Amino acid sequence: MPMINGKKKRNNVAIASISMVVFSAIFALIISGVINLSIAQHKLVKAKMLRQNALDLAESGLEYAEWFASRFPEDYQDGTGTAGPYTHTVKDPESGQDLGTFTIDITPHLQCGKLISMDIYSTGTAQDEKGNVFKRTLFAKLAKPSVARFSYIIDSNVWAGDTRNIVGPYHSNGGIRMDGTNNSLVTSAKSTWWCDGSFGCSPGQYKPGIFGSGPGSALWKYPTEELPFINFSSNLTELKDLAQNQGGIYLSRFTGASGSDRKGYELIFKDNGTVDIYKVTRSYWYWGKRNEYEYDYYWDYGWRRERNRIRSKTFMGNYSVPSSCSLIYSEEKLWVKGTVEGKVFVIAARSSGSYKPEIVLEDNILYNDADGSDGLTLVAQSYILIPEYSPNNMTLNGIFVAQEGSFGRSYYSNNKRNSLTINGSVVSKERVGTAWSCGWTGYFCSGYANRINSYDRFLRTDPPPFTPSLSENQIFVKWRED
């Protein structure tokens, strides 16, 4: 019996020893795993820090490019006079230690020899103490913010009727009566304004900056900063010189003829990137009632003879719109229609004299492609008008700027149209209007019964050259990591 007990004891000791070895091995394995995990996490943290440092350096490059452009707006070669890329070392401002480098590669976009915008690639390069290198690249487009950021910009009080469907920011420096539908911000620079009978207030009374029956009141804001309309005035002398001497298309004043809205030029855009140009020698006249009111009673003052229907014209030729200088400058009135290929800037203006040309949108204006590669900006020194004989269902693509007049359609007796769709932006000094109501009940009596307005998201960041800007300072209108 004692012999048997001794065997059991030795077996127990052996089992305990084996268990200790097994547990020790497991413990060592766990400790080793924890250590390896800690090392891996440490490496990961350092890699993330290195990656973040590279991103910070790339951002420094874009910030430097923006700063340099604000000081030297016509210099796209980093002050070197030679082609890039351009590499800069970034130092810690306190210790003076090198933090890494950024390299900027700039692609300028020129029109008529003038810098319009810049595409900038900035690559940040970070390095740790062991020599590990990490790079990250950012892309940004630097340009002046244009009026294409808004569906409407108006410099006076305005009434958006209940048949209006507005997509995109809508701004007025005056008060707004908003009965239409909006899916974006509606802003007014006024805290209060005087609403009279022409806006449906009877008797006249002070109203908040924005009021009305529209369903989008959650997006109404007032008062906001006024958008100074003087910024929208193009440099006429410079634009005329560019059209004449830098490869654009220049349409001169009629020789021996005083300024008159009876004559001018007709532009018919073609889907092959060309434009047919006619010289308009005679036009029909008819009665139209034009003022700044969208809704008004037809017996008010404002009747005039309009000459917006072409009677006779002479073909001048088919012209290619130069891709290097996509500018058409006319010193006479313009009639415009057709299908636009590429991006074109058109202006009707005179840098001297009392006559201020207007633009007539006589038919649909379409784009050949819907991918953002096409665009049109029309600037009239006075009015941009839709005439009496416009299509029943009209589509207008473009940015329309009435510098000293208004965008709209006059009242024509018993002249009703169905729908007007605008894809782009309307900028108007005076009150806009494309629909009229008549009588004490305010029934629809002239213009377009249904109106849809949508800003062009493509032109918001890449409008045609020379499109009026909201500021003289260049900003980043695009930003992404490549």
Distances (CA, A) of 478 to 58, 254, 342, 458, 482: 15, 43, 20, 11, 12
* Sequence ranges of the domains in the chain: 2-143, 149-160+173-178+223-466
Q: How confident is the model at residue 11 (pLDDT cuts 50, 70, 90)?
A: low
Lowest mean pLDDT among 76-90, 287-301, 449-463: 287-301
**Tokens standing for 418?**
């169905």
SS3 52: helix
Q: Among residues of the chain, what percentage have pLDDT more than 90?
A: 54
d(Cα 441, Cα 125) in Å, to the nearest integer? 70
SS3 231: helix
- 359-416 pLDDT, tens digit per residue, is 999 999 999 998 999 999 999 999 999 999 999 999 999 999 999 999 999 999 889 9
pLDDT reading at 427 higher than 70: yes
Q: How confident is the model at residue 298 (pLDDT cuts 50, 70, 90)?
A: very low
Q: Strand 114-127 to strand 133-143: parallel, antiparallel, or no bridges (unpaired)? A: antiparallel
**Residue in the structure block whose two tokens are 């009305």:** 212
Can you give the C-alpha Rg of the chain in angstroms? 33
d(Cα 346, Cα 407) in Å, to the nearest integer? 16
Mean pLDDT of the 24-49 span:
60
Q: Which has the closest alpha carbon to 280: 244, 258, 307? A: 307
Distances (CA, A) of 350 to 233, 249, 253, 254, 329: 12, 15, 9, 12, 9
What pLDDT, on the 0 to 100 scale, is given for residue 293? 43
- Maximum average pLDDT range among 90-99, 227-236, 420-429: 420-429
Q: Kindly provide the b/e burial profile for residues 270-302, where b requires at least 16 CB atoms within 10 angstroms of the residue's own CB.
A: beebbbebbbbeebeebebbbbbbbbbbeeeee
- 439-452 pLDDT, tens digit per residue, is 777 788 899 999 99
Alpha helices (H) in 178-235, listed in sequence order: none
Q: How confident is the model at residue 481 (pLDDT cuts 50, 70, 90)?
A: confident
What pLDDT, on the 0 to 100 scale, is given for residue 236? 87
Say which amino acid occupies 221: K
SS3 48: helix
- Maximum average pLDDT range among 64-78, 125-139, 172-186: 172-186
Beta strands in 54-157 (DSSP E): 86-91, 98-111, 114-127, 133-143, 152-154
What pLDDT, on the 0 to 100 scale, is given for residue 333? 95
Mean pLDDT of the 299-322 span:
85
Q: How confident is the model at residue 35 (pLDDT cuts 50, 70, 90)?
A: low
- pTM to 2 decimal places: 0.84
**Residue in the structure block whose two tokens are 């490496």:** 43
pLDDT reading at 267 higher than 90: yes
What pLDDT, on the 0 to 100 scale, is given for residue 292? 41
**Residue in the structure block whose two tokens are 């169905």:** 418
SS3 178: strand
DSSP 223: S
Mean pLDDT of the 64-92 span:
87
What pLDDT, on the 0 to 100 scale, is given for residue 194? 96
**H or E stretch covering 20:** helix 2-71
- 177-235 pLDDT, tens digit per residue, is 999 999 999 999 999 999 998 888 988 999 999 999 999 999 999 999 999 887 666 68
Compare 135 and 2 and report the one with higher pLDDT.
135
Work out the end-to-end distance of the chain between its first and last CA atoms, rounded to an integer number of angstroms: 84
What pLDDT, on the 0 to 100 scale, is given for residue 414? 85
**Residue in the structure block whose two tokens are 């004449």:** 244
Q: Check if the beta carbon of residue 327 is closer than 8 Å to that of residue 236.
A: no
Mean pLDDT of the 231-249 span:
87
What pLDDT, on the 0 to 100 scale, is given for residue 320? 95
Q: How confident is the model at residue 476 (pLDDT cuts 50, 70, 90)?
A: confident
CA dihedral 198, 199, 202, 208 (to 10 degrees): -140
**Tokens standing for 51?**
């990656």
Compare 49 and 403 and report the one with higher pLDDT.
403
Mean pLDDT of the 18-24 span:
63
Q: How confident is the model at residue 174 (pLDDT cuts 50, 70, 90)?
A: very high
Q: How confident is the model at residue 435 (pLDDT cuts 50, 70, 90)?
A: confident
Q: Which has the closest alpha carbon to 249: 319, 182, 332, 153? A: 319
What percent of the residues of the chain are helix, what percent strand, and what percent coil, each to the nearest 5? 20, 45, 35
